Amino acid sequence: MEVTTSRKPAPPLRTFSKDLAFSLGGHYTPRGKAGLGEIAGIDDDLLIVSKSGRYFLIEVFHNEEPVFDLLFTSYSVENREGELIRGLVTGNQIVYDKLSSYIKVCKTEDNRDVLIFDGAQRRRYVLRLKLQE
């Protein structure tokens, strides 16, 4: 699993991406001037994190083919209490179905509009999903 960002990410988005890679047991690769082809060839699964306008976006690729675009309106960073959770946690069935073949994701009965993951240094991220109706 490779995680990268848009070419010139803001520092908080870079930290977010590094923590996402940590949670998924993957590797963060700074994009810099590298083309997508160079980064996509590193691993079968690639996540690209970016911010476009007022939304954040995680693009999921498998074997260089787009699989799913995960839009979220905002995210918060909390201090994690308790055990570290590896992978993603969501109550959203669509998100779970789209991602479970490529990424470690757990389904819960609540939290339909959020996606949660744990980063390094006791950080817990809570993403507010932009639900596609």
- 106 alpha carbon, distance to own chain's centre: 14
Mean pLDDT check: name the lowest of 39-53, 72-86, 107-121.
39-53
- For the segment 5-48, what is each residue's pLDDT rounded down to a tens digit? 987 888 999 999 999 999 999 999 887 666 666 676 677 888 99
The total domain count for the chain is: 1
The domain in which residue 94 lies consists of 2-129
CATH code for position 105: 3.40.50.10480
- For the segment 79-99, what is each residue's pLDDT rounded down to a tens digit? 999 999 999 999 999 999 999
Task: Kindly write down the DSSP assignment for every residue of 84-127, as one continuous string.
Answer: ---SEEE--HHHHHHHTTTS-EEE-SS-TTEEEEE-STTEEEEE
Residue type, 99: L
| pLDDT computed for residue 50 by the predictor | 93
User: In this structure, how many other beta carbons lie within 10 angstroms of the beta carbon of residue 83?
Assistant: 7
Identify whether the C-beta of residue 6 lies closer than 8 Å to the C-beta of residue 48.
yes
